[in-house]
Structure 1
Amino acid sequence: MLHDMPPGLLISAPSSGTGKTTVMLGLLRALADDGLKVQPFKSGPDYIDPAFHRAAAGRPSFNLDTWAMPEGLIGGISAEAQGADIVVAEGSMGLFDGVATGGECGFGSSAETAQAMGWPVVLVLDIGGQAQSAAATALGFRAYNPDLPFAGVILNRCASPRHERLARLGMDRAGMNVLGVLPRRGDLALPERHLGLIQAVEHPDLEAAIQGYADFLRENVDLAAIKAAAASRPAPAGQLPKPPAQRIALAQDAAFSFTYPHLVEGWRAHGAEILPFSPLADEAPDATADLVWLPGGYPELHAGTLAAAQGFRAGMHRHAASKPVHGECGGYMALGSALIDKSGTRHEMLGLLGLVTSYEKRKFHLGYRQAVLNAPLPGHAAVARLRGHEFHYSTILEEPDAPLAQVGDADGNPVPETGSHRGHVTGTFFHLISEATS
């Protein structure tokens, strides 16, 4: 069974850092300002961009992931576009970048997402330091996979009218459709920190920034041509994930904010009640909750506040005495015994697990994860095969509890971050995306 999709496009680039997020946010808002219902998506396992997309488009954004998601889940997520006039998806990294070993539906590249959904690619090219030569890059990307629909290019960071003329000459010779030329502007970059962009909720004036991007795009991009280039193909039928419990207390604040949108949307769609609470405000989880879920985020930036939150601590211990608790990445760290911040200060965490982590001794952890559970995790039985993604800079100093899972990277190589479990409490460093189908 298939379902129809609104016409769409995928915004991508040869690499990270070319300005595609600025283009994405400006385009979402410009199209919405034109009266269109715009459905955003993010290709790949990004935790931060969907919140920016939602702010720009006024509709929830969802990840689509050809490595981690079975076809039915991709179909269920894509159905969220029903009722929209146009889809705009943002790629991750470079257009063809993925992993070496295939997953559920592919290798995780943005090109796979675009091809699966029938979305023509808009390639954002940084033409700083080159002119006609940029056309050779564009030509190579178009020719690398001739079956991939290709809408054209947006030339970014153009220095002058002469620079634009030369770049357009090259694109004309290569037969490339130029959809826009963006002048170089240093004030368009979004604030960043060590995990990439800051969270949308932390931006000092996000609405003004997004409107500025939209005005910039409207002045320099052919919106009519972009709308005309949008296309799609019918998507597979499917459904969103079922909830792990009926009443789910979900931590939601600046310390705990990274849960994949399709999970929470699926929980709600299947009738679960989401009960948000803020550990930073010293709120305890709802006493009637069946499950407490601590998402990832930035607990290391708020470790002192969390350590002093006695109401939060007492409520978590009361719940964990008889009912399940799960934490992902930052949530897992908060469930542990202690967290050492980048200055070397030790902060006592909840102590529901023995985990001790440190940001004083930084170590970069990034990549897809495949896991086989040794013990049940809420919503998933022991021996279930899960897919997820890990992205953090913390170092494990102690992890004394029983390993929750056998965990490997995308190629199947074991990783030491197994997660752990004790009593009703479980935790993982990876953010759950889906349960594998085979």
Structure 2
Amino acid sequence: MAATSTPGLIIAAPASGSGKTTLTLALLAALRRRGRIVQPYKCGPDYIDPAFHAVAAGRASFNLDSWAQGRERFDALLEAAAEADIALAEGVMGLFDGVASQGAWGTGSTADIAAATGWPVVLVLDVAGQAQSAAAVALGFARYRDDVTISGVILNKVASERHAALVRDGFARIGVRVFGAIARDTALTMPERHLGLVQAQEDPALLARLATLADLVERDIDLAALEAAARPTRRRPPAAAPRMVPPGQRIALARDVAFSFVYPHLLQGWRAAGAEIITFSPLSDEPPDPSCDVAWLPGGYPELHAGKLAAASRFADGIRAFARTRPVHGECGGYMTLGAGLIDAAGHRHEMLGLLGLETDFAQRRLHLGYRTATLHAPIPGYAAGSALRGHEFHYARVVTQPDEPLADIRDASGVATAETGSRRGHVTGSFFHMVDVAGDARP
């Protein structure tokens, strides 16, 4: 394993909800304020957090994933930090949490990323209701896996100076560094909805929030010590990642607050392969550019804008005309929009594009979450029938009916087939599957 010159750290926690996203944003904003070039990353599959990272750091945040990404793709994404002063990766769930079965080269845990990169972990601990016991938790994390280093902790939700002193006492006994302590403050809470935080582009107060967070960590966190704890990035000798095959030469990409879930590494890969991406906004009633050779509707929140989408006649007429002669593909939210109808959380049904027969329901919603492999029964833009892809599914839509021909054999991380197979009709394809990388044989 070779080391690059850029040092890195991972911000992780024992569990979701500990405050690692807020602390990551605060650190990105504070380090940028100090003149550092910070390359952000997100461990695991997530669209929302990286969009916040990008605003805080001023540069695109990339996902690192041991289950869904091939090792060559992973190593290539580490090169994004080559010109940065420091890399900062936000973990997913608890530090060691992953799936039971290994995927591309790991189980999808943050610990896999820490071991592969050599980046030490800063553990964010929610110490509400704890004192010295917090140190015992950290000690267990430090000893759990030999190839993961815990460089220290940040205490979150501290009730008082006395509380902080009691917690620090435990860490002094075990010799684990405390980088700082953050007081309990509801003003620091980021607005959320059912898939996570409200999207970065929907928060008009985001820049002010980031400035407040930067002030907070500059006051309460030893940033110099934190930076000094970072270690050079380990990566395997450079190898060419498999080409990220674009869905077309000129891609009409739906892009607004209803269709925002696109992985930056996919867009980067499409452009690197020579594709041109031309965005359009369905919410602004814009049709896809008719000069494009493929239309792509990514995931997002069409259920929050179903009425407006149903009334967008120029968009509907344009994409229906497009689909008569050229491929149209939808992922998750895009798939639902290509369907016949969508029932919102209030129980109102909205007419969608009708290019597929799919009917979805959010009034009786059901969580679908986890890694997926997809083996295509029919081609989608960029990949032939028989291609194997890795990705994930994350939505609350209940499928009422899915009457078209199935698009793919889709299986969860344990290899169990799912009922959400996607659909195909004419030039139109779609599924709830979000692609992250190829798996095995994926042919253009």
In structure 2, the partner of 1:276 is 279
Partners of 2:9 and 2:186 in 1: CA distance: 27
**C-alpha separation in 2, matches of 1:313 and 1:77:** 37
Name the counterpart of 1:309: 312
**What value does the CA root-mean-square deviation take over the aligned residues?**
1.2
Q: How does 1:37-436 map to 2 (within 5 A)?
A: 37-236=37-236, 237=238, 238-239=240-241, 241-436=244-439
Question: Which amino acid in structure 1 is aligned with residue 406 of structure 2?
Answer: P
Secondary structure of the structure 2 residue equivalent to 1:257: coil
What is the CA distance between 1:5 and its match in structure 2?
Answer: 5.2
Return the alpha-carbon distance in structure 1 between the equivalents of residues 133 and 234 of structure 2. Answer: 37
TM-score, structure 1 length as denominator?
Answer: 0.98
Distance in 2 of aligned mates of 1:434 and 1:426: 18
Query: Retained in 1: the 8 A contact 2:285–2:313?
Result: yes
Shift of 1:4: 2.5
Amino acid across the alignment from 1:51:
A
1:258 is paired with a residue of what secondary structure? coil
Unaligned runs of 5+ in 1: none
Name the CA distance, whole Å, in 2 between partners of 1:427 and 1:3: 41
Q: Distance in 2 between matches of 1:271 and 1:128?
A: 51
Cα distance between partner residues in 1 of 2:394 and 2:250? 28
- Whole-Å separation in 1 of the counterparts to 2:5 and 2:311: 49
Q: CA deviation at 1:3?
A: 7.4
Q: Any gaps of 5 or more consecutive residues in structure 2?
A: none
Structure 2 residue identity aligned to 1:403: P
Inter-CA distance 367–435: structure 2 relative to 1 (3 Å threshold): same
Residue deviations 1:315-370 (CA, integer Å, cap 9, x gap): 10111111111100000000011111112211111111111111112111111111
User: For the residues of structure 1 that align with 2:245 and 2:80, how far apart are their CA atoms?
Assistant: 16
Determine if contact 2:3/2:233 at 8 Å carries over to the other structure.
Answer: no
Residue type of the alignment partner of 2:372: R
Residue 186 of structure 1 aligns with an amino acid whose one-letter code is T
Residue aligned with 1:413, SS: coil
d(CA) in 2 for partners of 1:147, 1:397: 46
Provide the secondary structure at the position in 2 that maps to 1:296: coil
Q: Partners of 1:241 and 1:5 in 2: how far apart?
A: 27
User: For the Cα contact (< 8 Å) 2:7–2:87, is it kept in 1?
Assistant: yes
Displacement of 1:284 after TM fit?
Answer: 0.5
User: Aligned equivalents of 1:107 and 1:232: distance in 2?
Assistant: 24
Which stretch of structure 1 is more off in the superposition, 342-351 or 410-419?
Answer: 342-351
Check conservation: 1:30, 1:215, Cα contact below 8 A. yes
Inter-partner Cα distance in structure 2 for 1:244 and 1:301: 27
Looking at structure 2, the residues matched to 280 and 50 of structure 1 have their Cα atoms a distance apart, in angstroms, of: 23
1:9, 1:89 within 8 Å by CA — same for their partners in 2? yes
Can you list the C-alpha shifts for 1:389-422, whole angstroms capped at 9, x where unaligned? 1111111111111000011100101110000111
Q: Distance in 2 between matches of 1:212 and 1:386?
A: 41
Q: Distance in 2 between matches of 1:230 and 1:406?
A: 42
Q: Deviations over 1:211-262 (max 9, x none)?
A: 1111101100010011101113332334362312111111010110001111
Alignment deviations for residues 274-308 of structure 1 (CA, whole Å, 9 cap, x no partner)? 10100000000111111111000000111111111
Alpha carbons of structure 1 residues 291 and 2: separation in structure 2 relative to 1, 3 Å: farther
